[in-house]
Amino acid sequence: MKNSLLLIVLVMSLVSCKKFDQDVEPELIKKQALLDTIASADKDENGCLDGAGYFWSTLNKECIKIYESAITLYPQDNQNNEDETKNAYIVFGVDGGNEAEIFLPNQVKSIILIRPEEGQPWKFDDWQLIPWKGFILKKGEEILFAGDGGVGPKITGSDKNED
């Protein structure tokens, strides 16, 4: 009788563990799928975290944080702009600076500009990047953006942007 009771308890334990594993496993799979979805939802097609300010640099073939590592150009009509999403940004290639990648506001793809030699402006179609008191970005004859050539936002000795 004891052996039969022990056998019944043992079988019940195994069956109940199996049932518990089967119930928990789909739930764990669902949770992991949700975590994977959340982790990838903010990434672009190159794996850059858009929400964290990272953008794919076609020129340098890596994710970069343009707000901190690129040269900032401010809208020509608002040089004291504090909204980073309205600025343009420049990243130079590792080839000595003859290639420049421009990130424009509200535009997904960047533009690659090339200069034939040092001292000349970088160009692509009707875009020009001219080195003058920093940089000027023109489309056709219109100056759209300009900046002092500094990386990141203009910072003074305090936490306020420079006027």
Residue 23 confidence (pLDDT) above 90: no
In a domain, 156, yes or no: no
Confidence of residue 68 (pLDDT cuts 50, 70, 90): confident
pTM: predicted TM-score of the whole model, two decimal places: 0.66
Q: Are residues 9 and 28 in the same domain?
A: yes
- Please tell me the total count of domains within the chain: 2
Confidence of residue 115 (pLDDT cuts 50, 70, 90): very high
- Chain centre to alpha carbon of residue 159: 24
What is the C-alpha end-to-end distance of the chain, expressed in Å? 92
In a domain, 158, yes or no: no
In a domain, 161, yes or no: no
Stretch 117-145: mean pLDDT: 94
Greater model confidence, 9 or 72: 72
- Chain centre to alpha carbon of residue 82: 19
Give percent above pLDDT 70 in the chain. 67
Confidence of residue 16 (pLDDT cuts 50, 70, 90): low
Domain boundaries, position 17: 1-41
The partner residues of 145 in beta bridges, in order of sequence, read 75, 137
Q: Are residues 35 and 16 in the same domain?
A: yes
Q: Are residues 89 and 113 in the same domain?
A: yes
Q: Are residues 4 and 36 in the same domain?
A: yes
Distance CA 31, CA 13 (A): 27
Residue 156 confidence (pLDDT) above 50: no
Looking at every residue in the chain, the average pLDDT score rounds to 79
Structural contact between residues 79 and 154, judged by C-beta atoms closer than 8 angstroms:
no
Q: Are residues 92 and 68 in the same domain?
A: yes
